[in-house]
């Protein structure tokens, strides 16, 4: 939604415009040119290294920073499933990817090209008809937010309402399966993803998630669900849908004011604490009460309205409905971590679908340590001071150790990936805001039943 990426002032850094290839052959052609560019980069790097008397391996030639940048740039141009897969690989397997590739793919979390104005107008015409400008008193043809699935425009209706329209890139839905399969082939062929990283479950999850995110009617239903669930909670502000202008390809919503949530790092401690307490409490409510979690942790999906003191919630495209079994098993895992019961933690992790290694083996000990650190805020009575915590550094150190156990490591179960991404995003925001939150008490209240 418009929370995907908050644009800077246009005179500072305008969006890059790039026509979007919509046909299957056109998109395959882009992928083929990417493969050709990677191969050309290998040759150039090989000549340079050999001229210095060095004998680089094939893997070294593939994993140059220039080749990694080439991959990231092409995915940003293509958008859609190709870009989304790059984002997910960066976030979910970044510690297992070569650093040049991980660094390059991380750019995809915040950057996307936008459509040229001509293609934007043609897309709006195909959705609303040739008289589409007459629907609005004002329409800004320049998007102010952009991501892998679509871009967002400001507009005003004739009755004076300020709205935003989330416009889906043309051809995104039809390209999902082919894009993901082509990306998988390229990543495996090039060696840019190590052989020990089994990404098939992640690929299937990307296809499923992208098809859901490309269904704007589904997102509209999720938005309504959150609006209803939070209608009496004055801490939050959720946009309302403009149904007469919405369909599967475009989602119209009321414009909600607010400043970037990160701006709160300059606010009083009490405000930072209360905002993060509300957001972490909402996360627990989403999982344990609603079983409906907005899984995208992008900071831009949260804004703060200083006038009303309310937290603005944006972008429900990545919302997932979690099965009762996952919720119950995760509740068991968290309770066991709080109680310090290792055997119960491992049993719950096994039921969730994690590879937990051999009995009493070093990998199993590492997995336990990972969960203990990740759930540390839930296990700490009193107030957890995220600003003073070194949890991110300890998690990174453990991730490096896990890479030594290539025979055991596998991509975690899809539902856990999405939920842990949300947890990680909330904890990162709490660290950014130097917030102090009674996470233990919030967890106990959420699982008291």
Average pLDDT for runs of 10 along the chain of length 449 = 33 48 51 48 42 46 54 55 52 46 50 79 95 96 82 95 93 78 68 61 76 91 96 96 95 95 95 98 96 88 95 92 95 94 91 75 78 91 94 73 57 80 89 95 90
Q: Residue 410 — left, alpha, or beta (φ > 0 → left; ψ -120 to 50 → alpha)? A: beta
Least Cα distance to 91 among 76, 77, 74, 103 occurs for 103
pLDDT tens string 96-125: 445 555 554 545 444 556 788 999 999 999
Largest CA distance in the chain: 72
DSSP state of 381: S
- Where are the extended beta strands (E) located within 181-309? 236-237, 250-254, 259-260, 292-294, 302-305
Is the CB of residue 211 less than 8 Å from the CB of residue 173?
A: yes
Other CB atoms within a 10 A radius of the CB of residue 97 amount to 23
321-375 confidence digits (pLDDT tens): 999 999 999 999 999 999 999 999 999 988 988 877 666 667 778 778 888 888 9
Q: Enter the pTM of the model.
A: 0.76
Respond yes or no: is residue 103 known to be catalytic: no
Which position has the token pair 């102010």?
144
**Which entry of 296, 350, 360, 407 is annotated as an active-site residue?**
296
């Amino acid at each position: 939604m418009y929370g995907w990426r908050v644009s800077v002032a246009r005179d500072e850094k305008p969006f890059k415009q790039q026509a979007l290839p919509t046909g299957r052959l056109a998109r395959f052609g882009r992928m083929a040119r990417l493969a050709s560019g990677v191969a050309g980069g290998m040759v150039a790097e090989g000549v340079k290294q050999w001229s210095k008397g060095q004998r680089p391996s094939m893997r070294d030639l593939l994993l140059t920073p220039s080749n990694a940048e080439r991959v990231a740039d092409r995915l940003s141009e293509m958008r859609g499933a190709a870009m989304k897969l790059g984002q997910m690989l960066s976030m979910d397997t970044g510690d297992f990817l070569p650093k040049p590739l991980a660094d390059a793919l991380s750019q995809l979390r915040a950057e996307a090209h936008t459509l040229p104005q001509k293609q934007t107008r043609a897309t709006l015409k195909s959705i609303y008809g040739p008289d589409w400008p007459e629907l609005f008193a004002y329409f800004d043809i320049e998007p102010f937010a952009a991501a892998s699935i679509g871009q967002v425009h400001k507009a005003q209706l004739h009755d004076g309402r300020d709205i935003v329209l989330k416009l889906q890139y043309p051809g995104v839905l039809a390209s999902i399966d082919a894009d993901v399969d082509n990306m998988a082939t390229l990543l495996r062929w090039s060696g840019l993803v190590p052989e020990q990283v089994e990404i098939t479950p992640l690929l299937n999850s990307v296809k499923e998630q992208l098809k859901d995110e490309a269904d704007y009617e589904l997102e509209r239903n999720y938005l309504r669900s959150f609006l209803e669930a939070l209608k009496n909670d004055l801490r939050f502000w959720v946009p309302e849908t403009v149904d007469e202008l919405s369909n599967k390809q475009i989602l119209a919503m009321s414009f909600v004011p607010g400043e970037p949530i990160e701006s709160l790092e300059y606010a009083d401690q009490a405000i930072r604490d209360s905002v993060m307490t509300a957001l972490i409490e909402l996360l627990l409510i989403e999982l344990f009460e609603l079983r409906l979690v907005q899984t995208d942790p992008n900071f831009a999906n949260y804004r703060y309205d200083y006038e009303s003191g309310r937290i603005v919630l944006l972008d429900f495209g990545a919302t997932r409905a979690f099965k009762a079994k996952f919720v119950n098993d995760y509740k068991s895992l968290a309770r066991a971590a709080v109680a310090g019961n290792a055997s119960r933690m491992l049993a719950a992790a096994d039921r969730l679908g994690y590879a937990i290694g051999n009995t009493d083996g070093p990998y199993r000990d590492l997995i336990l340590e990972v969960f203990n650190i990740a759930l540390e805020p839930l296990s700490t009575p009193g107030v957890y001071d995220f600003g003073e915590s070194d949890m991110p550094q300890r998690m990174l150190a453990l991730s490096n150790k896990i890479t030594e156990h290539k025979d055991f490591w596998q991509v975690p179960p899809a539902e856990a990936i999405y939920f842990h991404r949300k947890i990680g995003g909330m904890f990162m925001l709490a660290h950014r805001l130097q917030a102090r939150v009674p996470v233990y008490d919030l967890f106990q209240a959420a699982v008291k039943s």
